[in-house]
Structure 1
């Protein structure tokens, strides 16, 4: 009687499981992959730590605080709502090298409020019409065509202006015009309809606060 013995294949160690040479081994790891791992770590640090830190340091955020007044002209100013970001413009008392007063731009979320001033000898109603004419020429859109009727508006200091509001599915806002001593003042607000609604009281208060700076006659 013959007997057979098992002749199955012997287990061969996988070449992918070979241990690294002793001179390239540290705590069981292959030191030859360290440079690649370091490069990956450096890229991760760059985009998750370093770049955000630089962005934060260079941020232009300048939130308005209680007591701030923003200059519109040398004699006119208004009170910004707290925590609105002052993207451009000077607080009362600040000066530029040229001693000019720049336009004011405030932001909150996706809302932008701008206040500009320039020489103008007409009425607030005429100024509002001129603003729409410029907007139509530059952007091809008429704000007046999609707005409600013009409404008179008086500030807390007694300045009389005119305002229109608009509300579309994509944006809402208002334009308010004043003329003070041959200077036209325009306040334009635009943003998503829901945000405009949520901030309507703050926006109205800022416009109502326009008046003479430090009690000087406007």
Structure 2
């Protein structure tokens, strides 16, 4: 078993899995970020490569009108009705013990909607630029990339954000970011080109419903 090592500045012991601040980004060790994102990329390929299987599965955990999805750091958003909850917690169904998730995933047919929260000590533009660099470095030429300039948006509760097109050779989508008091929310939605306009409007409404509230107590 690895033993704790002393901090050179404070003299206090550090846990064996301690990660220096300069190596952390979005709540993760930057040295392990690349393989993690590659796993996500493979998951996306699997999702879009087997739509027939997905369509055959029953959606037994669908969102209802007005459902608010809760995440860590006090972040939440209003889910469009009729979407399948792949992972996430609806307000009112919070666990008695344990914490809320950092990531929530909803799907509607071949369209996915993902919200991830984490710490970020830069500004909003810096967060979007970091995500662009990360996707360019980790996704192949056929994978998802930010493919447009980011432009300003504002959520329903007045939170400033940025939105950019996020696409691959055979799928399209959007990537949005919000930042509030050191907490970032990354919103990604992807689906096939020519997605139904009603679904696109639902995605837009969910993006603009992102809110930052008080973080849940431990």
Shorter chain as normaliser: what TM range?
0.5 to 0.7
Task: Classify the secondary structure of the residue corresponding to 2:158.
Answer: coil
Task: Classify the secondary structure of the residue corresponding to 1:63.
Answer: coil
Q: Hey, what does 1:131 align to over in structure 2?
A: 131
Q: Distance in 1 between matches of 2:112 and 2:124?
A: 22
Q: Hey, what does 1:63 align to over in structure 2?
A: 62
Q: Distance in 2 between matches of 1:168 and 1:138?
A: 13
Q: TM-score, normalised by structure 1?
A: 0.64
How far does residue 137 in structure 1 lie from its aligned partner after superposition? 2.8
Q: Distance in 1 between matches of 2:212 and 2:100?
A: 17
Task: Classify the secondary structure of the residue corresponding to 1:129.
Answer: helix
Tell me if the contact between 1:172 and 1:196 (Cα under 8 Å) persists in the aligned partners.
Answer: no
Q: Distance in 1 between matches of 2:102 and 2:166?
A: 26
How far does residue 161 in structure 1 lie from its aligned partner after superposition? 0.5
Q: Distance in 1 between matches of 2:200 and 2:206?
A: 10
User: Which runs of 5 or more structure 1 residues have no equivalent in the other structure?
Assistant: 1-54
Task: Classify the secondary structure of the residue corresponding to 1:95.
Answer: coil
| Corresponding residue pairs, total | 157
Q: Distance in 1 between matches of 2:107 and 2:88?
A: 12
Q: Hey, what does 2:160 align to over in structure 1?
A: 160
* 1:166-205 correspondence to structure 2 within 5 Å: 166=166, 170-195=170-195, 197-205=197-205
Q: 1:61 to 1:126 in 2, by over 3 A?
A: farther
Q: Distance in 2 between matches of 1:168 and 1:77?
A: 28
How far does residue 169 in structure 1 lie from its aligned partner after superposition? 5.8
What is the root-mean-square deviation of aligned Cα atoms in Å? 2.4
Tell me if the contact between 1:162 and 1:176 (Cα under 8 Å) persists in the aligned partners.
Answer: yes
- Which stretch of the first structure deviates more once superposed, 79-88 or 204-213? 204-213
Tell me if the contact between 1:121 and 1:179 (Cα under 8 Å) persists in the aligned partners.
Answer: no
**Higher strand proportion:** 2
Q: 1:171 to 1:196 in 2, by over 3 A?
A: farther
* 1:75-114 correspondence to structure 2 within 5 Å: 75-93=74-92, 94-95=94-95, 97-114=97-114
**Higher helix proportion:** 1
How far does residue 97 in structure 1 lie from its aligned partner after superposition? 4.4
Query: 4+ residue runs of structure 1 moved beyond 6 angstroms?
Result: none
User: Which runs of 5 or more structure 2 residues have no equivalent in the other structure?
Assistant: 1-55
Q: Distance in 2 between matches of 1:60 and 1:169?
A: 28
Tell me if the contact between 1:161 and 1:179 (Cα under 8 Å) persists in the aligned partners.
Answer: yes
Q: Distance in 2 between matches of 1:80 and 1:195?
A: 18
Deviations 1:124-153 (A, max 9, x none): 221111112222232235613xx2221101
Tell me if the contact between 2:112 and 2:191 (Cα under 8 Å) persists in the aligned partners.
Answer: yes
Q: Distance in 1 between matches of 2:180 and 2:108?
A: 28
Q: 1:136 to 1:169 in 2, by over 3 A?
A: closer
Q: TM-score, normalised by structure 2?
A: 0.64
Q: Hey, what does 1:210 align to over in structure 2?
A: 210
Larger radius of gyration: 1
Q: Hey, what does 2:145 align to over in structure 1?
A: 143
